[in-house]
Amino acid sequence: MRLNQCQNFHDFRRMARQRLPGPIFNYIDGAADDETTYRRNTQAFEACDLVPDVLRGVAEVDMSVTVMGQKLALPVYCSPTALQRLFHHDGERAVAAAAGKFGTMFGVSSLGTVSLEEARKISGGPQVYQFYFHKDRGLNRDMMARAKEAGVQVMMLTVDSITGGNRERDKRTGFAIPFRLNLSGIAQFAVKPAWAINYVTHERFRLPQLDGHVDMGGGAMSISRYFTDMLDPAMSWDDVAAMVREWGGQFCLKGIMSVEDARRAADIGCTGIVLSNHGGRQLDGSRSAFDQLAEIVDAVGDRIDVMMDGGVQRGTHVLKALALGAKAVGLGRYYLFPLAAAGRPGVERALELMRVEIERAMKLMGCRTVAELQRRHLRFR
């Protein structure tokens, strides 16, 4: 496939599968246990119908939103994800540049492969730092101070990953960072030599946010041991409240799924929450964020900015979430597959397709602004 032949999420996924060795493709594509939640995330949108208004004189639409104090030209943003230079050598550089071009927000992960500081220089758009909570409180403070000095606008603490999910596709190939492949995994790399050539002819793979803590040469600590040994499963609401006070700015919790937790996030001073089940990669059998959205917006939407991610593949999916009260919608695999397939041009094409789909759908819905999307425009099967 060629990039200009890609018209939707499934085309980008197909192109990425052609380019990537099987273990890496399955790392992006896979989820936990039976992958029930992964499938349910998109199916949830399909159980909801749009009810358009007509004859509303919609010649132009304004797709912009303001979330956590950040003005976005689009109601979607690129959620922070780990290990992006494993998929394409430009990694977060490509995503930052594409997000900046489209005037939207992007994120860099604690497990990002480009530094916060470099990413900040690439994009003029708002930047999120996706943070994992470590047992070493001094490391937590140092990482927050570094993010603030780099000019990061939003701190996003992931709260659903105190231990890694059971991702059986990775177990079957032996996928790990640093690489510890079994024979099946090695064979899958062998049939995609272009990826290997690309990987070894560019700069060394590293995790700049964790230099000195995780060694990609295999010496200090692997990614799996990072989750087991360095992250703190005893993280509590008191710990998070202290972080919110120390950060002193826009602070978001990613991985909230219950009304009670949403209320507690608002109580301790968070300015945003992301309803998320980590793309189905953590707790299989958990509810989809879209299915949970209405009750959480009803409970706390007047106190805190509510966002969601998971399973978003179309502009109409975004409109449905906005109509239920989401302030913005996060994209994950939607931009990772085009990143893997074609680098920055792939991410830009994906965002342009999403922009066009949202604009077209808003016109067909008879809505000139995002605020005009209301629950009366939805019916559930």
Active-site residue, selected from the candidate residues 88, 134, 278, 317: 278
159 close to 262: Cβ distance less than 8 angstroms: no
SS3 179: coil
**What string of DSSP letters covers 20-73?**
S-HHHHHHHH--STT-HHHHHHHHHHHTEEE----SS--S--B--EEETTEEES
Return d(Cα 166, Cα 280) in angstroms, integer.
10
Sign of the alpha-carbon torsion through 147, 227, 111, 132: negative
> What per-residue string of b and e applies to 214-232 under the rule 16 or more CB within 10 Å gives b?
bebeeeebbbeebbeebbe
Place of tokens 């109409």: 316
Return d(Cα 376, Cα 232) in angstroms, integer.
43
Q: Is 377 a catalytic residue?
A: no
Return d(Cα 13, Cα 341) in angstroms, integer.
8
Q: Which residues pair with 252 in a beta bridge?
A: 156, 272
**Among 81, 108, 87, which Cα is nearest to 96's?**
108
**Is it true that the peptide bond before 178 is cis, omega within 30 degrees of 0?**
yes
Specify the pairing of strand 378-380 against strand 48-50. Answer: antiparallel
Catalytic residue IDs: 278
